[in-house]
Amino acid sequence: MNAVFEALSHPVRRKIIQQLKKGPQSAGELADMFELTKPTMSTHFAKLKKANLVSTKRDKNTIIYSLNMSILERALAELIDFGGEKN
């Protein structure tokens, strides 16, 4: 779960997730929303994928990203449980 929280720690990755809540989008569509280089966007996509927050499928030469809501929901549940722990 640490990889999930690390992925969520960056504002660009959180914005990517917000966009994917609307539905699957191509890497190009997502990249067009940011003034970042392709290598930088690739790094963000890789972190999200490593955390299993997104899944990908290839459509010819296009990579389509989809949000994995179950992982996001598990992270939220863990965060809520963590907040309820007593020392």
Domains of the chain with bracketed CATH: 2-83 (1.10.10.10)
Contacts of 25 by beta carbon, 8 Å cutoff, 6+ apart: 19, 64, 65
pLDDT digits (tens, 9 = 90+) for 2-37: 899 999 999 999 999 999 999 999 999 999 999 999
This prediction has a pTM of: 0.85
> What band does 84 get if pLDDT is binned at 50, 70 and 90?
low
